[in-house]
Amino acid sequence: MTQLVRITCLLTVAAILAACSKADSAAPTYAVSWTMPTQYTSGITLPLSDIASTTVVYKLNGGAPTTKVVTAPATSTTIPKDLGITCVAVFVTTTATAVAPNAAGIQTPDACVTLAGTPNAPTGLTVL
């Protein structure tokens, strides 16, 4: 095998391994879930069919909030996981045909989680 062919083969294998590694390493996420409300604040029954969506509001380290709208009847989603304090709250919005049409509900109090981490050890250490 010539030097050029050997280098090409090694580069091809390295590229395949890098692509496989990237495909397998999905960004870490938090699983967020909630229970849908069953009543309006007035005490009137709120049928699940009257809920259009749930809005998930999350922020990292007190920064600007990010929202993610989840179509009902889903009661879970994922959000990005990062170092620091992540706080999450949710609220539902009713359908256009609900007793209170297109109404945004009361937002839940924040639920927060802290993720601390330390750096991994260096790699490729050699002593000559």
The predicted model scores a pTM of 0.74
User: Could you give the 3-state DSSP secondary structure of residue 92?
Assistant: strand
Q: What's the domain range around 56? A: 26-115
**Residue 72 maps to a domain:** yes
Please list, in sequence order, all residues whose beta carbon lies within 8 angstroms of the beta carbon of residue 90, skipping any fewer than 6 positions away. 32, 34, 54, 55, 56, 57, 107, 108
**Residue 104 maps to a domain:** yes
**Residue 4 maps to a domain:** no
**Residue 7 maps to a domain:** no
Q: Position of tokens 């580069």?
A: 11
Spatial contact of 90 and 58, defined as CB atoms under 8 Å apart: no
**Residue 62 maps to a domain:** yes
**Residue 20 maps to a domain:** no
**Residue 57 maps to a domain:** yes
The CATH number of residue 98's host domain is 2.60.40.10
Local confidence band at 5 (pLDDT 50, 70, 90 cut-offs)? very low
pLDDT, tens digit (0-9, with 9 covering 90-100), for 67-97: 999 999 999 999 999 999 999 999 999 999 9
d(CA 57, CA 40): 21
Total number of domains constituting the chain: 1
